[in-house]
Structure formats: structure tokens, C-alpha cells
Chain A
Amino acid sequence: MLTLEELVCERDGRELFAPVSIDVRAGDYVELTGANGAGKSTLLRTLAGLHSRYSGAFDSVDCLFQGHRLGLDGLLTPLENFAWFLGFEGRDADRERFLDALQRTGVLNKAYQPCSEMSAGQQRRVAMARWLLSSRSLWLLDEPLTALDASAQQVMAKIIVEHCQAGGAVVCATHSELPVAQKRLLKLEATQRTPDGSVHSGYRDFAKVQDE
């Protein structure tokens, strides 16, 4: 589903964490942890194709990315947002499924209200409903628990477990534990890059090649 080989992300010319290698198979729930600024978000953004400065390699199937910004258009209602989003997957709008998804995440009563008129927590529930509608099997979630109350966290945990059981995979960066039974832990360690090597992303330093 998603394999990482010696992946290291860079930001402002320095390496964020020690090389990461993992093979995420269908049904896996991987919890990505690490201190603030360890590079969790940058790793997820790299996997989603939004960040291009990294060394090492990864290959992944198309993914659904949920960053700090929810990706909901404030002027549109949840239904209109879903219709737009599913357009990317080439699927047409199906009102019944949309309403079921909203009911599942407990914001059915907001179905026809522009997203800008909702609270942050309610908007997150709408975003969660969108996960259910997407046909993408790999979910990359960046701290999805923020602004969610206890009941919403339970709903999210259930959704993730069901998605994994249905053959999907989830990589979730979070500070607080998610109540999911079996999970794989991936902790980002600080980089031990020897200080003398300067960072070359994207090309091998020819001079070094000669020395080897």
C-alpha cells in the first residue's frame, strides 16, 4: 500500500528526522508520533505530494490527505463541498450517501448550511464525513483530533478501524493516543546526521563519488 525506504524530509536546508523505512500494508493503522517540530506534518505532506524536498524514496497509491486546513469551502454547504470533492475521483454526487455520512459523524442538521457558519469542531466532523465518501484507500491524517470533543473522537476511532478492516490503511500523526486496539507505532527520531556532510537534496555530489 505504502512503502518508505530511508525517507528523510528537509526543511530550510536541514534534515528533520532520522531516515524512516516502513511498509504499510492493507489493514494497518500507523500512529505517527514525535515531538513538536519533529516533522510529522512535513512527512505526511511529502507522502501526499505537497512537499518535494526529501531524500530516500517512497511509493504510494493515491491518498486522501487531511491537513490542519480542512479543505472545505466556507461559502458552500457540506453537500456542495462533497459534490466538488468527489468530482476529483470522477464520481458524481449522491445525496443519500452524503446525508448518511453526515448523520454518521453527527452533523446531519448542518447539511444545508454554509461551512463558514459552523464551529471548528463541526467543520471537522464534516471533513470526517468526507473520508467516508472518498474511494481512496490510503488515508494521511495530520492531527485530526484537534477541536474534537470526546464523542467525536470515539466516532473517528470507529471510522478508522472500519476503514482498516475494509482493507484500507491509515497513517495518522497525533499527540494524543487514538482509542484504536491494534496499532503500529512510528516515532520520528532526531537526526544524527554527521555535521560535516552538507545537505544535497536531489543530486549526488560528484566530488564525493570520486572519493568513494
Chain B
Amino acid sequence: MSSLLRREWQVALRAKGAIINPVAFLLLSTTLFVIAAPDTVSSDAAAGILWTLVLLTQLLALDAMYRRDFDSGVLEQTLVSAQVPFVAVLTRIFMQWLSTGFIMVAVGPALGILLGLPAEATPAIALAMLLGTPALSLLGSIGASVTVGFSRGGVILALLVMPLFLPTLIFGAGLVAAAEAGSSVMPQVYALSLISLVALAIAPFATLAGLKISLEMQ
């Protein structure tokens, strides 16, 4: 387990792009949005926009999730040699979540301010990101594992995972909106956690099955 994590950490440090690019894309798309629709700033649509952009950022990062290891043969070695490939998949999803989900706990509130959300809503945004993004990485990993074998899997990946992201989007944006309105956020918190837990239960097994299918494809 530790050797897996160490390797992921070394790769993350060397290929900083995996961390910087998602955040850069998020900032860029927020700016475009505000320029295109200035009156959305500090409107009740802001929470929804913020979450939609986080979703799209996650989608972009997913395509590369297994691609590098697939092309280099590292994925092959993992499935052949690892006594417990399940752990390797879980480590990979965890690292992916760190660079595209967990980081949103910090970046999200900053974007909230950019979008004119009230300052007291920022803790709610951070909480929503913390509870919601694991489901994105977990469910997204299933889609990524099945489409990694395709040369142009991007669109299919989006088609497969976007419907699965919908519940997280609804309750994530709902939580922020509830915080803005000052009402209790607990129902959304429970819902987001439930979705992430269900995703945690099915994602590793489904991802492993997906990777086995993709590896057999070439």
C-alpha cells in the first residue's frame, strides 16, 4: 500500500499539471461565464454554476485518469502482479480525488466569492465540496476505466458519467443555496454523504471489472 502511495505521490509531484490544470480550467471557465452572463454574479444561479463547472472540471480530468498507466503497461503489471488489485484501484481513485475533488474544498469558496456568493456561504461551499466530490471521482472512475481503451473515449465518457453525477450536482448546489438562504443544510449533507458512500461501495469493484475489460481490448 505504501509503495503504491509513494509512487502516486512521486508522479503527482513530477506531473504537476494534474493538479494545476483542473484549477486553471475552473478559474478560466468561471471568468468566461461571468463575462458572458454578468448578471449571474451574486444571483441565486451562482451556486448552480459553481457546481456545474466543478463537474466539468472533474470530467476533463477523468479522461487522463487511467490513460497514462494504460499506455505505459503499468496498469497491466498492476493487475497481473498485485495480490490485491482492489487496493491499487482505490489508491488511484483517492489520488485522483485529491487533485480534482479535495482541492475544490479550498478553491470552491474562492470561486464562490468571485461569483458574488455571500461570505457566510463559504463554509457551506467547502462542506459541499468535501462531501460531494468523492462521489464524482468514484463514479467517474467507473466510466474512465471502461473508456480508457478507446482512442477517442472523451465524449462517451461524458455520456456515461454525467447522468451519474446528477444527484451530487443537485444536492451540492442545493446545500450552497440553502446556506445562502440561511436555512438548515442538514438534509443536503445527509444526501451528499449517502451518495458518496454508495459510490464508494460500488466504484472499486466496477472499476476493476472495467479495467479488465479495457486491458483485454487491445
> Known contacts being A52-B212, A64-B81, A76-B11, is A87 close to B2, with CB within 8 Å?
yes
Interface stretch, picked from B67-75, B98-106, B200-208, is B67-75
Q: Does B80 contact A (CB under 8 A)?
A: yes
Contact of B80 with A49 in the complex, beta carbons under 8 Å? yes
Q: Does B197 contact A (CB under 8 A)?
A: no
State in angstroms the CA–CA spacing of A51 and B80 once bound together. Answer: 11
Contact of A69 with B6 in the complex, beta carbons under 8 Å? no
List chain B residues, Cβ under 8 A from A49. 79-80
List chain B residues, Cβ under 8 A from A45. 216
List chain A residues, Cβ under 8 A from B14. 75-76, 114
> Known contacts being A49-B79, A63-B80, A80-B10, is A71 close to B2, with CB within 8 Å?
no
**Chain B nearest CB: distance from A14 CB in Å?**
16
List chain B residues, Cβ under 8 A from A80. 7, 10
**Partner among B3, B71, B79, B80 whose Cβ is within 8 Å of the Cβ of A87:** B3
Contact of B76 with A52 in the complex, beta carbons under 8 Å? no
**Chain A nearest CB: distance from B170 CB in Å?**
38
Contact of A69 with B216 in the complex, beta carbons under 8 Å? no
Q: Would you list the 4 A-B pairs with minimal beta carbon distance, nearest first?
A: A87-B3, A69-B73, A71-B77, A71-B73
Contact of A75 with B83 in the complex, beta carbons under 8 Å? no
List chain B residues, Cβ under 8 A from A157. none
Contact with A along B54-76 (1 / 0, CB 8 A): 00000000000000010111101
Q: Which residues of A contact B (CB under 8 A)?
A: 45, 48-53, 62-65, 67-76, 80, 83-90, 92-93, 114, 136
Nearest chain-B residue to A87 (Cβ)? B3
List chain A residues, Cβ under 8 A from B71. 69
Contact of A73 with B74 in the complex, beta carbons under 8 Å? yes
Within 8 A of A (CB), among B1-25: 1-4, 6-7, 10-11, 14-15
**Chain B nearest CB: distance from A141 CB in Å?**
13
State in angstroms the CA–CA spacing of A86 and B81 once bound together. Answer: 9
A-B contact pairs, 28 of them (CB 8 A): A49-B79, A49-B80, A50-B79, A50-B80, A53-B216, A67-B73, A67-B76, A69-B76, A70-B72, A70-B73, A71-B72, A71-B77, A72-B72, A72-B73, A75-B10, A75-B11, A75-B14, A75-B15, A76-B11, A83-B7, A84-B7, A85-B77, A86-B3, A87-B4, A88-B3, A88-B77, A88-B81, A88-B82
List chain B residues, Cβ under 8 A from A74. 72
> Known contacts being A72-B73, A75-B15, is A65 close to B3, with CB within 8 Å?
no
State in angstroms the CA–CA spacing of A90 and B1 once bound together. Answer: 9
Contact of B72 with A69 in the complex, beta carbons under 8 Å? yes
